[in-house]
Amino acid sequence: MSRFFATGSDSESEESSSADEITPKAPGTTLKQSLLLSDDEEDTKRVVRSAKDKRFEELTNLIKTIRNAMKIRDMAKCLEEFEQLCRAFLKSKNIVDKEGVPSFYIRLLADLEDYLNQLWEDKEGKKKMNKNNAKALSTLRQKIRKYNRDYETEIAAYKENPQESADEEEEKEPEDSGSSSDSDAEGGDEGVSSTSFLKKKPEAASEASKFLKSAKGSGDESSSSDDDDDDEDWGSDTVDSGSESSDEGKGRSASLAMVFLRKTQDSDKPSEKKLGKKKKPKKKERLEEEPEEEGGEEAGEGWEKVKGGVPLVKEKPKMFAKGTEINTAVVVKKLNEILQARGKKGTDRAAQIELLHALAAIAAENNLGQGILVKIKFNIIASLYDYNPNLAAFMKPDMWKKCLDCIDELLDILFDNNNHIFIGENIAEDSENLAISDQPFRVRGCVLTLVERMDEEFTKIMQNTDPHSQEYVDNLKDEGRVCGIVDRLLAYMENKGSTEEICRIYLRRIMHTYYKFDYKAHRRSLGLQGESKSEQDQEESEGEDSAVIMDRLCKFIYAKDRTDRIRTCAILCHIYHHALHSRWYQARDLMLMSHLQDNIQHADPPVQILYNRTMVQLGICAFRQGMIKDAHNALLDIQSSGRAKELLGQGLLMRNMQERNAEQEKIEKRRQVPFHMHINLELLECVYLVSAMLLEIPYMAAHEFDARRRMISKQFHHQLRVGERQPLLGPPESMREHVVAASKAMKMGDWRTCHSFIINEKMNSKVWDLFPETQRVREMLVRKIQEESLRTYLFTYSSVYDSISMETLSEMFELEISTVHSIISKMIINEELMASLDQPTQTVVMHRTEPTSLQNMALQLAEKLGSLVENNERVFDLKQGVYGGYFNRDQKGGYQQKQSYQRDQKGGYQQKQGGYQRGGYRNQNQSNY
């Protein structure tokens, strides 16, 4: 007899397993005990399952682990389990090819990708992650994106209708488990469902064991779908099984029928649930179609439909009681009542704004005068600014539009009643005059403060908008309206405002103008006119150029402003505007006269950012004008720091949390410059590196053997070292590689190759085409490359030549003979080249005064030995306490030999009595070697 019908307790089961004979029991008792098998006996049973069930169970277990890791944001665990899941799925390839990709697998891939994208966009959350989780998130995101490319169609189908995909999966599970019921006796979730079982008929008593196992399997399946029903089912099983055990007289068929009927009733529950799930969308559609009917029914039953946890206001609250006389005092009292709720906890800010609008409409209907209307408008605009309690939050588009409309309406009222309304912060509330009378209206408030806050809100909106989206462009269109409001207020303040207020509004106008290139003024300066007649008429109707506007506004601030900050900002903006329009000398002179570089470190961070932007623009302007050394000096501080992006307010560099906490990061983000005001960082770096190349390569060639030569640009040398370390030299790709390749060519005196690396299609598109006068900049660059290549060639190869014709040099470097003559003359005067010019033959005669490499090394050795002896003697004298001897101590505390070699100002060596002079081995009597 089978062990399946053995007694149910643990002890008895152990005894019966060890005994040779098993005592037969009554059929009812046997059935009851078979349903209540112990866990130990279940574990010892051999379970035969199909390959498909094994593989799918392995996949589902891994998926459950991944989902649990997702809940607790354990990215390292997610990555590990996902790699295991991919390997397990690869093992199941044969089964997947037959059956198709399981829907639960597709659902996980789609959910995991969405989850990772959501985590990736959460910047705050990423910063709080530890190092392992952050690294795992980045790796897993790349892997899932690459992996999901093979299942794009399935994932797209799932995302279109996730509800149907889930229902199909639920339907497939019982069918799959039913097909494998013969082999899978107690497979948990893979057991036969009750509905599939009902289709079978128990024909023989020998099938009882199969029947019981399948019934148990269906019970397990229902328990996995609903935990609450599970407890009730098992409770009823125990009660019924107890009644069966008490009634031993009944046969096995009766007990089978009881279990059969009970499981049939239980098995109806999941099917009803599935139907309910399918019916949910239809129910939603019906709710949308008939909202009024259900609303009526609910109202009849005493329920009220709510939205967002707050009951809907069906009727607007009445502002005034019926029959109340509307006058200025009543409206002011109501206004104060509304304002008292401002800032309190639980106050609905949107409702408060609506109430103020309604109050303004009532005041206008009853003709209470413009004074009360202006006061209400002031409060409406202030309430719009207070709508976001967080300082870092920016205004929503609808609130922003309302704010602009209200400010426009307020300015309309002020312009229409220019002489009848006085506004100001110095007017006390007690002395306000809001009623209609012979006296002009007096209202407490400052329209300039409102406009300044509006300008700040516009900056915040631009900072918080994705710069590469259409939304940014749409928001940027509002700048015209913002500038219009500023211009209107400027005209109003010029008549009504104080000097300080005029300076403040002038600065706002300057800040919207200084960074914009005036293309129309540029065309006029070049003598170009509009292509069509309409463009010409438009240019004639245009007002004054931006240069004239900037000059007028800035000079007023220079003369009248009493605060250093406004004047400093105005000077920097003026310099920036001059530099942007290639007025190099005006910009340079204004910068030098202002002496801002002496104390700018004491200014606040926004002013320092403006200073950095101005210096960068000044350097780029110098480069466009061919002032290479000035350009390099202006850009040196910004580029040598390695964090130009941060210094220009164009983004934050990734730092440790120890250097900058979350609060400091928020403050720094608020200082960022909007994207449309950014300076191209690649252009900036290219200008700096090209300037450094034109200065550094000739200097390196002139001081090739000088041990004490200094570096003009550390960053340029770093790029050269990076280029030399590359094991494989291919054609240059990036901008830096182009400059390094050009530097190597210039070092050899090959100006044509240098020119081809600096000016080509790739570099034009990246850098040179971004300048307003592109062709002029390219021509200037070619000229500079030719001149510096000539200097480098003479420094490098002068020792090879006895004499060289200037005509030959002119042909080699495609320069005029006069230019070659000028360059060589300067080199001879500055003692950089030991040569002389022979005018009749137009040749350069070399003097052969340059030391050879061996002589240079000997000089270096002599210098090092001299310093070694000097240090040794100093240490010896300190120990002995004796001063003097072979060395005499000079006034500055150094040691000096009376007839030793001394280094002169130029860096050469000369002896006091007929020794060596600057430039190599040359006697005082000019006797050459």
According to DSSP, residue 768 is labeled: G
The pLDDT confidence band at residue 282, using thresholds 50, 70 and 90, is very low
Structure tokens at 844: 């350069």
Show Cβ contacts of residue 841 under 8 Å, excluding neighbours closer than 6 positions.
Answer: 805
Name the DSSP class of 920.
Answer: B
- DSSP strand E in 325-474: where? 421-424, 441-444
pLDDT at position 458: 93
- 238/452: higher pLDDT: 452
- Tens-digit pLDDT profile for residues 655-680: 655 567 778 888 888 889 999 999 99
Q: What is the pLDDT of residue 785?
A: 94
SS3 state of residue 928: coil
Residue 289's CB is within 10 A of a number of other CB atoms, namely: 9
Share of the chain above pLDDT 70, in %: 69
* 458 or 126, higher pLDDT: 458
Greatest alpha-carbon pair distance for the chain in Å reads 142
How large is the average pLDDT for residues 273-301?
43
Residue predicted with more confidence, 238 or 741? 741
pLDDT for the residue 52: 82
Greater confidence (769 vs 183) lies with 769
Q: Is 183 in contact with 49 (CB distance < 8 Å)?
A: yes
Report d(CA 19, CA 544) in Å as an integer.
112
User: Sheet harboring 835-838: ordered strands across?
Assistant: 803-805, 843-846, 835-838
3-state secondary structure of 644: helix
Q: Is pLDDT at 333 greater than 70 in this prediction?
A: yes
Question: Given this model, what pLDDT does residue 56 score?
Answer: 87
Residue-wise pLDDT for 791-834, tens only, equals: 999 998 888 888 999 999 999 999 999 999 999 999 999 988 88
CB 150 within 8 A of CB 85: no
Contacts 24+ apart (CB under 8 A), 144-148: 144/82, 144/109, 144/112, 144/113, 144/116, 145/113, 147/86, 147/109, 148/109, 148/110, 148/113
DSSP E strands, 360-450: 421-424, 441-444
Which pLDDT value is given to residue 211? 40
For residue 7, pLDDT over 60 is answered with no
Q: What number is the average pLDDT over the span 884-903?
A: 44
- Which residue did the predictor score with more confidence, 285 or 106? 106
Mean pLDDT score, 175-195 = 42
DSSP state of 327: -
Q: What is the pLDDT of residues 737-751, one digit of tens each?
A: 999 999 999 998 899
Residue with the bigger pLDDT between 926 and 527: it is: 527
Q: What is the mean pLDDT of residues 170-181?
A: 46
Q: At what angle do helices 252-289 and 291-301 cross, to 10 degrees?
A: 110
Confidence of residue 253 (pLDDT cuts 50, 70, 90): very low
For the chain, give every domain's residue range. Answer: 51-160, 680-846
d(C-alpha 420, C-alpha 428), whole Å: 18
* Inter-residue contact 130 to 94 (CB < 8 Å): no
pLDDT at site 566? 94
For all residues of the chain together, what is the average pLDDT? Answer: 76
Q: Between 208-225 and 252-289, two packed helices, what is the crossing angle to 10 degrees?
A: 30
Over 12-56, what HEC string results?
HHHHHHHCCCCCCCCHHHHHHHHHCCCHHHHHHCCCCCCHHHHHH
Residue 601 vs residue 212, higher pLDDT: 601
Which has the higher per-residue pLDDT, 375 or 279?
Answer: 375
pLDDT at residue 304 in the model: 56
pLDDT at 283 over 60: no
Which segments of 318-475 are extended strands (E)?
Answer: 421-424, 441-444
**Token reading at 871:** 């240090």
Digit-coded pLDDT (tens) for 435-487: 777 778 888 888 999 999 999 999 999 999 999 999 999 999 999 999 999 99
CB 743 within 8 A of CB 693: yes
Q: What whole-number distance in Å separates Cα of residue 83 and Cα of residue 61?
A: 14
Lowest mean pLDDT across 61-70, 133-142, 432-441, 607-616: 432-441
| DSSP sequence for 863-900 | HHHHHHHHHHHHHHHHHHT---TTSEE-TTS-EE-TTS
**Residues 680-846, CATH architecture:** Orthogonal Bundle (1.10)
In this predicted structure, what is the pLDDT of residue 258? 53
Question: Residue length, the chain?
Answer: 929
Report the pLDDT averaged over residues 358-374.
Answer: 86
pLDDT score recorded for residue 168: 52
Give per-residue burial for 243-272: e unless 16+ CB within 10 Å, then b.
Answer: ebbeeeeeeeeebbebbeebbeebbebbee
Q: What is the pLDDT of residue 726?
A: 83
pLDDT over threshold 90, residue 539: no
Q: Of the ranges 243-257, 522-536, 600-614, 784-798, which one carries the lowest mean pLDDT score?
A: 243-257
Structure tokens at 436: 């209609």
pLDDT at 583 exceeding the cut of 50: yes
Confidence of residue 540 (pLDDT cuts 50, 70, 90): low
Look at residue 903 and give its three-state secondary structure: strand
What is the model's pLDDT at position 920?
Answer: 38
Does position 878 have pLDDT exceeding 70, yes or no?
A: yes
Can you give the pLDDT at residue 593?
A: 93
Full DSSP string of 231-252: HHHHHHHHHHHHHHHH--SS-H
pLDDT at 468: 92
User: What radius of gyration, in Å, describes the C-alpha atoms of the chain?
Assistant: 44
Residue 121 φ/ψ, nearest 5 degrees: -75, -20
Question: 789 exposed, middle or buried (CB, 10 Å; 0-12, 13-18, 19+)?
Answer: buried
Of the ranges 166-180, 203-217, 710-724, which one carries the lowest mean pLDDT score? 203-217
Question: What is the tens place of the pLDDT at every residue in 778-800?
Answer: 999 999 999 999 999 999 888 88
- The CA distance from 697 to 794, in Å, is 12
pLDDT of residue 220: 45
The whole-number pLDDT of residue 371 equals 85
